[in-house]
Structures are given as C-alpha cells and as structure tokens.
Amino acid sequence: MKDEVKRLINETTDPLAKLELIDAVQRLDLKDHFETEIKNGVDFVYKNSSDAWLFDDLYATALRFRLLRQHGYNVPQEVFARFKDETGNFRTQLCEDVKGLLSLYEASFFGLEGETIIDEAKAFTTTNLKNMEGEISPSLARKVGHALHMPLHWRMTRVEARWFIDTYEQEQDMNPTLLQLAKLDYNIMQSVHRKEVSKLARWWVDMGLDKMNFARDRLVEHYFWCCGMIFEPQFGSFREMGTKVISLITTIDDIYDVYGTLEELEVFTDLVDRWDINGIDKLPRNIKTCLLGMYNTSNEIGYWTLKEKGFNIIPYLSKAWADLCKAYLKEARWYHGGHKPTLEEYLENAVVSISAPLVLLGCYFLTAEEITEETLHYIDKHPSIIRCCSTLIRLANDLGTSSDELARGDNLKSIQCYMNETGASEEAAREYISSLVHKTWKTMNKRCLNVIHSQNHF
C-alpha cells in the first residue's frame, strides 16, 4: 500500500491534485511514511507551476498558500489581493464558494505579524462561515463547524486523523488505498498506545503517586499529550519517559500551589537546585516521595540517554528542574505574600513555570539522533520559539481552567492579572488574552518559517 501511495504522489502532475493528495496524507497523519515524496511534491508545486491554474480559484490559492507556508515557503499574502473588490474588501460573491471560504479560513491561521490582508481574510471568513452554518449541506456544515471550533493549524494531528478518516471516507474523490492505509496505521498505533499506557499505569501505582490525594491524577491525559507530540512507534521511549516527567511536573506543581507550606517549598527548591537528596528528611512523606520520584526518573532518563547516545544529560536536566522549581517558588511567594503581579511579570515567569522548556529539553534528549552542546545552550537561553510555546500553553491553560484553579487556592492567572492591572471586566480580559493567543501564534509562525528555512531543527 505504501508503494502505491508513493507512486501516486510522484506521478500526479496536476498541481491542485498533487496538493489535495498531500493535504489528505498529512491530515490522515501518514506524513512520516512519505516525507521525501511530500517534500518533493511541495517543492514541485512551488517551483514549476504557473499561476494559471490558480486564477480566480479561492480554494486552490488558499490551499497552496497553507501547504507552502506549512513547509517553510514564505508565500506572500498578496496572492489573495485578486479576491478583493475596488474598495479593498473581500468580494461578497466569495460567500457563494463555501469550499473556498473554508480553505481561506484555514490558510489565515498561517499569517504573520503585520499581514493585514491575512487578518482581514480571517475576520471575513470567520464571520461568514458562522452565518452560513445552518444554510449548507450537513457534510459541509460538519467541516465548517469542526474548523470554527478549532483551526487545523492548532489541532493535534493524531486526533485530527481520527476525525478525518471518517470525513475522507465520504469524499467522492477518496482514494481507497490511502484510506485503508490510514485505518491500518491508526489501529496499529492504537494497539501500541494501549500497551504503553498500561505499563505507565503500573509505574504510577508503584511510585505511590496514586495515593497523593491533593494532586491531580492525569496520567492518561499526560500520555495523550506526549502522543500528540510524537506518536510514531519508534519513539516509545519518549512517550514513556515524557509521560513520567509531565506527571511528576503536575504533581510537583500541586505541591507548590496547594499542599506545601512556604518553608517546605523553600527546602524542596534548595534540594533540587543542589541536586542533593541528603536533606530529604526535612520534608513530609508525600513531598519526599515526589522529590525521590523526580530524582530517580531523571536518573533513569540520564542512564538511557548515556547508554543509547553516549551523552551525560544529567547536568542539563537537573538545571531545567531547578529552574522550574524556582519559578514555582516565585509564584508561591506571590501568593503567600499577597502580591498581584502585572501581566508582563506573570508571563515572564510563566515561560519557565508552564514547564515547556523542561519538556522540550526532554523531547530533544529522547528523539535527537545526535545531542550537541550548541543546541543545549540554544534551548537553555529560552529562544523566541520556546517562549512562544510557553506563552501559548500558559494562555490557553488560563482561558480553559483559570476559574477552577483559583477555586483550589491557586495563584492569580493571566486573566486576573490583566483585570487587576487595567480594571477591565472578566469578559474584556478574556477577549484580550484571546487576542494575545492569536498574536503569539503569528510570532510562532514566523519563527517556524525561519527554523524550517535554516533547517535548524532542535
């Protein structure tokens, strides 16, 4: 089946048909089986096709824009200028082309800061797609509703694959071989995932973390998160160790937020900073268990990396843990001291406290073919692309769980920081935080274009 799909991608010469095939392969999450074919196909469309096939075709123009930007080609926003009228607005007739409108909507989320045409496209398509949900066919309405709930660019590809398998099966131009391969691949990986999560559940109990009544038990959610990052079968070690790290992060976060006294948190932070467990008896049993779990799990990852890749990562991993605990301690001091941080102050600390630098560092250790000092120093400086990751996770988390966390006695979140600083209502604050999410995505898009272009993948 894979050979047939490879042949199909390579032999399809019509630019639009090639892009549609590549899009289907990616949305079915089969891209890792066809990396070379996809790269060559996208490069072919970028270099060798004229604009004749795009003329006044909104769907094709937007699909080309989205896929080329996704693969690192900085296609200019001006390709959409032809769809505007003499007043500079998008033509109202475009609303008759729902497929094209949906394609433009998805493309608009690959915009960069300062791209006003893309901003206008996002506003235009969002408004009009919402207005027509009850006026179009059920199958098209399903696609529109799915996109409006969350754009493709923001989705976890493995979850999207499950949804798209059902959608693709109903398409008139569906390729049976591609569909069969997608179902087989998905079912194989589901079997792998079930075995892995079963093993992790035993680890959770053996560590005694199931007895931490004050902490959130989200092992399966953490595993799911790791699957979203890397699902391929060869990266089972990453999913296993990554889930352990994230589960410990959540438990330790709860210690700082709702369980430990300020004095206990200071002792905990000092022990982690010195990477020394000799003073562990100063801590109560539950906190002691978490500290030992973090220490032993980190050494387990360090042993695996040294054995597999010949690199001692413990100094870097221990520093990342120490940085995280210091950020947690700062938030705990804010809470106990009644300090209300500004939004800027809150987000600066959140770069570390949301734990993205630690998780991404672990991802690099466990998946990179070769670990280099240069990349480790790059990650340690929290470059823009990591800061964007942290900010997006923090803001999305605040928008989704802020009220729940405050009810548990947690620190103020970004919404409350903005309200305190500006006197805004909660509704206005949420709108502002949502606008920051969109703005940060634009910065992330720019950084990703630069990274892909330079091939500087960490």
Please report the pLDDT score of residue 407 as a whole number.
66
Q: pLDDT at position 123, please?
A: 97
Look up the CATH number of domain 207-454. 1.10.600.10
Domains of the chain, residue spans: 2-180, 207-454
CATH code of 2-180, in short, is 1.50.10.130
Token pair recorded at residue 188: 């194989």
Structure tokens at 122: 């996002």
Distance CA 300, CA 141 (A): 49
Sorted by sequence, the CB contacts under 8 Å of residue 183 that are 6+ apart come out as: 165
User: Which uninterrupted H or E stretch holds 367?
Assistant: helix 356-367
Backbone angles phi, psi at 268, to 5 degrees: -60, -45
The pLDDT, as a whole number, for residue 49 is 61
Reported pTM = 0.91
pLDDT digits (tens, 9 = 90+) for 356-383: 999 999 888 888 888 888 888 888 888 8
CB neighbour burial string for 174-193, b if at least 16 within 10 angstroms, e if fewer: ebeebbebbeebbeebeebb
Q: E-assigned strands of 321-412?
A: none
Phi/psi of residue 313, each to 5°? Answer: -95, -5
Per-residue pLDDT of 169-201, as tens digits, reads 999 999 999 999 999 999 999 999 999 999 999
- pLDDT at position 457: 46
pLDDT value for 410: 65
**pLDDT beneath 50: ranges in the chain:** 456-458
Same topology, domains 2-180 and 207-454? Answer is no
Instruction: Write down the pLDDT at residue 409.
Output: 60
